[in-house]
Amino acid sequence: MSSSQGYVKRALSLQKILLKYRDPLLARKLVDRIHDLSRRVDDKVVIMNFCGTHEHTITYYGIRSLMPANIELVAGPGCPVCVTPSRIIDYAIKLALDEGVIVYTYGDMYKVPGTKYSLAQAKSLGANVRVVYGFNDAVKQARSDRRESVFVGVGFETTMPTVASQIYIGNVPENLAIIPAYKLTPPILKYMLGRGDIRIDGIILPGHVSTIIGVESWLFLEGIVPSVISGFEPIDILISIYIILKQLVNHERRVINQYRRVVQFKGNVKARKIMSEVFNIVDADWRGIGLVPKSGATLADRYSNLNAEMRYHVRIDKSIDVKPGCKCADIVLGKAKPTDCPLFLKACTPERPYGPCMVSSEGTCHIWAKYGGYNEVK
């Protein structure tokens, strides 16, 4: 019996559930209501979706084409590999090439350009780079391999528990270390709202992140900007846009949980507890944005023996996050669209990405390139 037994059966039953959230009639009604409300709000409304996966749904289902002229949907910073600084990639490559360390990475990170090379290019130069689906696979492989290895620890609060739990139960073999480059979502939104140069009239908050951190982690947005924790199906997104507009009409600024089938007020309490044991909150470097206070996580002192940066004292002299001409930093902040970048689909394509936003399936440029998001279709 294969472990995949029932895979498609499960997928099929999921498909049936999902159909409710793709219902054409319901979508039509919601779009009509969004148009009604759009006539009762100010001249222009900018709604930012935090998640790359929300951007995928918006583009894949052509939701922008259904929006009234005064409602603009803008993609935000929710692509973890896009905001991981070059230094992390450079560091992993140097460990692999100079020290002969095996590097485990998520597939998303594999082709992201560092200062000079991506991990994929480093592999063709002889680096031992292995793509894994998750930290568990890295643990398994490292244990049977017994060779010195590192795991590139990138992601938001969604991926952190998978690493935290293995560390917490003492399941990480001695020969495996972690390069901790985790990023936290509430602090980056706080930072963006505080900058003053980014227009955000409403926020579609991340669904999977909120599953972990709970509704309560977003309450700082109450009184500041209408916000909705949203699911990832088109009906979810349309409802979330509707709720934001409704709040704007009523002059409310609240945090609403639309994704109640998954997200709870306190989130995943157990995961949060383990995360707080395993990680320390630190100031973190966001690619193209710079240092953002208390927006990252590294391993807590008692686990510093698993921290690659404590284990290998390799120096990265100078790393470059934003190459000349690349607008990724502005795109991640919602200040520019991929089409504002002169390199988009010219010098930067999914086949030959120049900037990090063109690599991951959560990167705005990649999504627009693949699903035609750059065409203004009405």
Partner 1 sequence: MYVDKITLAHGAGGYETSLLIHELFVKVFKLKNIGDGIGLNELDDSATIPIGNGKSLAITVDSYTVKPVFFPGGDIGKLAASGTINDLAVIGAEPIAFMDSIVVEEGFPLKDLKKIINSYKSILDEYHIALLGGDFKVMPKDSLDQVIFTSIGIGLVDGRPLVDSNVEPGDVIVVTGPIGSHGAAILASQLGLEDVEVRSDCRPILPAIRIAKKLNAIKAAKDPTRGGIAMALNEFAQKSHVDIIVYEEKIPVKEEVKALAEMTGVDVYALASEGQALIVTSSDRANELVEALRRNGFREAEIIGEARRPIGHKPRVYLKTLIGGTRVLEVPRGELVPRIC
Min dist. Cβ of residue 121 to partner 1 (A) = 6
Of 181 and 369, which has the nearer Cβ to partner 1?
A: 369
b (16+ CB within 10 A) / e for 58-80: bbebebbebbbeebbbbbbbbbb
Q: How many residues interact with partner 1 (rule CB under 8 A)?
A: 45
Binding positions for partner 1, 70-129, rule CB under 8 A: 120-121, 124
Looking at 24-32, 80-88, 141-149, 295-303, which segment touches partner 1 (CB under 8 A)?
Answer: 24-32
Per the CB < 8 A criterion, the answer to whether 205 and 177 are in contact is no
Is residue 343 part of the contact set for partner 1 (CB under 8 A)? no
Gyration radius from the chain CA atoms: 21
The single residue among 34, 37, 66, 112 that binds partner 1, judged by CB under 8 A, is 66
Can residue 31 be called a binding residue for partner 1 (CB under 8 A)? yes
Residues sharing a CB contact under 8 Å with residue 110, sequence separation 6 or more, in sequence order? 118, 119, 120, 129, 131
Question: Angle, to 10 degrees, between the axis of helix 234-249 and the axis of helix 24-38?
Answer: 20
Task: Select from 57-65, 214-222, 298-306, 311-319 the region that touches partner 1 (CB under 8 A).
Answer: 57-65
Q: Is 5 in the site for partner 1 (CB under 8 A)?
A: yes
How far is the CA of 108 from the CAs of 7, 95, 113, 187, 375, in angstroms? Answer: 23, 20, 11, 23, 25
Q: Say how far apart CA 67 and CA 239 lie, in whole Å.
A: 13
Does residue 47 contact residue 72 with C-beta atoms inside 8 Å? yes
Q: How far is 23 from 203, CA to CA, in rounded Å?
A: 24
In whole angstroms, give the CA distance from residue 72 to residue 2: 47
Q: Strand pairing partners for 368?
A: none
Closer to partner 1 by CB, 188 or 369: give it.
369
* Binding positions for partner 1, 217-246, rule CB under 8 A: 234-235, 238
Selected from 59, 159, 217, 360, the binder of partner 1 by CB under 8 A is 59
Compare residues 4 and 144 and give the one whose CB is closer to partner 1: 4
SS3 content of the chain, % helix, strand, coil (to 5): 45, 20, 35
Which of 42, 197, 317, 351 is the binder for partner 1 (CB under 8 A)? Answer: 351
C-beta closer to partner 1: residue 31 or 300: 31
Q: Does residue 29 belong to the site contacting partner 1 (CB under 8 A)?
A: no
Instruction: Choose between 235 and 357: whose C-beta lies nearer to partner 1.
Output: 235
Query: CB under 8 A: which stretch of 9-17, 220-228, 290-298, 302-310 binds partner 1?
Result: 9-17
Q: How far apart are CA 364 and CA 367, in angstroms?
A: 5
Nearer to partner 1, 72 or 252 (CB): 72
Q: Using an 8 Å Cβ cutoff, are 109 and 118 in contact?
A: no
Q: How far is residue 305's CA from residue 301's CA, in Å, rounded to a whole number?
A: 8
Binding piece for partner 1, criterion CB under 8 A, among 74-82, 271-279, 301-309, 346-354? 346-354
Residues that bind partner 1 (CB under 8 A): 2, 4-9, 11-12, 14-15, 18, 22-24, 27-28, 31, 59-66, 120-121, 124, 234-235, 238, 349-352, 361, 369-373, 375, 377-378
